[in-house]
Structure 1
Amino acid sequence: MRELTFEDVTVRFGSRRRGTVAVDGVNLVVPAGQIVGLVGESGSGKSTLARAAVGLVPLAAGRIRLDGQPIAGLRTRPLQMIFQDPYSALDPRMSIGASIAEAIPRRPPLGAAARRAEVGRLLELVGLAAERAGARPDELSGGQRQRVALARALAGRPEVIVADEITSALDVSIQGAVLNAVRDLQRQMRLTMLFISHNLAVVRYVSDIVAVMRHGRIVEYGPVEQVLLDPRHEYTRELLDAVPRPGVPLGS
């Protein structure tokens, strides 16, 4: 378990004069062994912040640290990311077992039998039968593919997992199963996780802490029950008002 920290992180696209600031001086702490739910509407900068954490977009300013050490200077890859679309994240030409095995570190070296056993263990860990290792992505449902993506992320033995809108592409009927898998794995393995969603109900279900992002900035941060039951920022209240409530007709 390690703590992930963003210090005055800024991400800019384009030139300084004509560019766009997607993330603007963000300070954010993801405590060791906890899930921080990062919520905001489309275009708020939350996915850009996630990509910056795993090195997919460069920083214009600031630092990202793991237990106080700059991530940029670490030799290993301590963060793994799970993307929104599980199908595009998996090679359709490879079996799911091969995709997972590809992510297993080469040090220490494992023999073929040990790698197959590790793939089976990871599949069972995310609620899939080890025998499904030979299946290809197009033989699986969206929820099953997202479980494979989770197993693949765990195969890299990460210190931190960044999950970016991992249920938004799934049918409502299977979102709950994936969220249960995420929550159970986090509790079992004490993972540190940055969980990104536009859905406050989802964030409330899986997170210990919630951070609310708007226009590239964090506008509210705190324990999930405190923020969602007693929001201090007007934007957080607007997001809460937009959450559908059982028995309330749309538009009422």
Structure 2
Amino acid sequence: MSELRFEDVVVRYGTPRRPFTAVDGVNLVVPDGQVVGLVGESGCGKSTLARAAVGLAPLHSGRILLDGQPVPHRGRRRPLQMVFQDPYSSLDPRMSIADSVTEAIPPGWSRAERRAEAERLLELVQVDPAKARARPSELSGGQRQRVALARALAGQPKVVIADEITSALDVSIQGAVLNLVRELQRELGLSMLFISHNLAVVRYVASHVAVMYGGRIVEQGPAEQVLTDPQHDYTRQLLAAVPGSRSTPTPAPTARSTS
């Protein structure tokens, strides 16, 4: 895995006469092998920053670097892979889940190798390989999000960007998916930008936290530091909205789930 760095990133929409700045001068680092949680309310620019990183939003100015080099957005090998909020819309409903995962594997693998790798990745994200021929519509929301994670890993990324990946799931399933993210990070040493509007979710998975407000990063640092001694009023407001925010967060369920 590798380091992802945002340097003075600005993303603007609209026209020159009526521009709208969605991301305004963001500086942020996702260190090698670490999970950085990016938190803020809806509309603050979190998802726009993520989309800029993978080439889906226009970069007005600034730089996005992977190990010191501009992030490439062309070709079959994409070093950044993104997992989106809605697991159903991110998977082709006409394809089996095995084909969706196989499609993301870079060139150079034989058909048998690709099939075996898809099955390995499905097992890794705790989806029964017996479901490999199933279509997304035959799976639960939690299972579809697991498949989306497997598809992202199939691309052999250097950094994974997870954009609100639990917000569309039932509360009963969110904990299992968060535990899976933690397990994958430990087992694979993933570098990850984990985006959420929920500070309780971010504090569970991230070693570092960045708080975004109005298109800007208003506070960032080690998770323990930011969450126990917030310096910005907006961070304090987010913490105040979390039940039991001054106590240790309740761990998500540890039992494995196929949901």
Q: Normalising TM by the smaller chain, what interval?
A: over 0.9
In 1: Cα distance, 2:238 partner to 2:73 partner: 37
Per-residue deviation, 1:74: 7.7
Aligned-residue identity in percent: 72
Query: 2:105 touches 2:154 (CA, 8 Å); kept in 1?
Result: yes
Per-residue CA deviation, residues 63-91 of structure 1 (Å, 9 max, x unaligned), is: 00011111148864100000000000011
What residue number does 2:32 align with?
A: 32
In 2: Cα distance, 1:114 partner to 1:77 partner: 20
The runs of 5 or more residues in structure 1 that have no matched partner are 247-252
In 2: Cα distance, 1:37 partner to 1:132 partner: 32
Per-residue CA deviation, residues 120-170 of structure 1 (Å, 9 max, x unaligned), is: 100000011111111110111100000000000000000000000000000
What residue number does 2:191 align with?
A: 192
Q: Which amino acid aligns with 1:103?
A: A
The alignment's C-alpha RMSD in Å is 1.3
What residue number does 1:164 align with?
A: 163
What residue number does 1:22 align with?
A: 22
Name the SS of the counterpart of 1:169 in structure 2: coil
In 2: Cα distance, 1:215 partner to 1:111 partner: 48
Distance 1:95 1:73, change over 3 A: closer
Per-residue deviation, 1:240: 0.5
What residue number does 2:47 align with?
A: 47
Per-residue deviation, 1:17: 2.6
Per-residue deviation, 1:49: 0.1
Q: Which moved more, 1:70-79 or 1:177-186?
A: 70-79
Per-residue deviation, 1:111: 2.3
In 2: Cα distance, 1:68 partner to 1:47 partner: 23
Structure 1 runs (4+) greater than 2 angstroms displaced = 72-76
In 1: Cα distance, 2:239 partner to 2:154 partner: 36
Following superposition of structure 1 onto structure 2, how do residues 129-168 of structure 1 map, counting pairs within 5 Å? 129-168=128-167
Name the SS of the counterpart of 2:55 in structure 1: coil
The TM-score normalised by the length of structure 2 is 0.92
The alignment status of 1:176 with 2:187, answered yes or no, reads no
Aligned residues: 244
What residue number does 1:101 align with?
A: 102
What residue number does 1:56 align with?
A: 56
Per-residue deviation, 1:58: 1.2
In 1: Cα distance, 2:226 partner to 2:3 partner: 21
Q: Which amino acid aligns with 1:190?
A: G
Per-residue deviation, 1:15: 1.5
The runs of 5 or more residues in structure 2 that have no matched partner are 246-259
Query: 2:72 touches 2:78 (CA, 8 Å); kept in 1?
Result: no
In 2: Cα distance, 1:192 partner to 1:117 partner: 25
What residue number does 1:249 align with?
A: none
